[in-house]
Copies of this chain bind each other. A is one copy, B any other.
Amino acid sequence: MRRSDSDNSAAPADAASTREKLLEAAARLFLERGYAATGVSAVLAEAGVRSGSMYYFFKSKDDLLVGVLDRYLELLRPVLIEPVEAATADPIDRVFTLLAFYRHFLVSTNCRLGCPIGNLALEISDTHEEARQKVVQNFENWCAVVAGWLVDAGERLPASCDRGALSRYVLTVMEGGQMQAKAQKRIEPYDASIAGLRDHFNRLEAEARAEKERNG
């Protein structure tokens, strides 16, 4: 399957690179300005790509959005989860290390941007069905990882504590905290939200310890 000899059609050059540049530019602009407020022409300018090329890879602006959300699905583990697991061994600490990663991103952008998935979730869920499903998948995968850590925490959480439900609660607090940080352009609301969650975890861990003592 060499393409160098008699393949005189569609010479791919670096096809991946063009597609990549479009996804990267679109992701950045959708995050900075929102989906509807970002014109295709802005994506093209940012990517240094011409209209014809974009519509070769993506059949519409909507399709580009779906591509961006697919990219986020791919990036979850290498960009977020693996660094967290490498940095932190303790399963409960991993949850808060993950939340600290988001904090770092917030601070490094002066709290202007917020969560890429969360922003799109609210903007497009009711009007772009395919993209909405990708948002849900992003949330699901995120929660599955966190739920795994909570399962790893074993007896450090009460036996009655539903790990899946708690992982979704962690997402709730993370997104709610980022929303307020973005609105206020200050990190404090995010920190306060995580502190609230930390307090909740402390109480869950205390209950688990008491449980353990009672049972010998």
| Chain A residues within CB distance 8 Å of chain B | 32-37, 112-114, 118-119, 121-123, 125-127, 132, 135-136, 139, 165-166, 168-169, 171-177, 179-180, 182-185, 189, 192-193, 195-196, 199-200, 203, 207
Chain B residues with CB below 8 A from A127, complex form: 33-34, 37
Copies of this protein chain in the complex: 2
Contact of B200 with A139 in the complex, beta carbons under 8 Å: no
* Complex alpha-carbon distance, A184 and B143, angstroms: 14
* Complex alpha-carbon distance, A175 and B182, angstroms: 13
Chain B residues with CB below 8 A from A32, complex form: 126
Partner of A192, one of B33, B35, B169, B200: B169
* Complex alpha-carbon distance, A114 and B135, angstroms: 15
Contact of A123 with B34 in the complex, beta carbons under 8 Å: yes
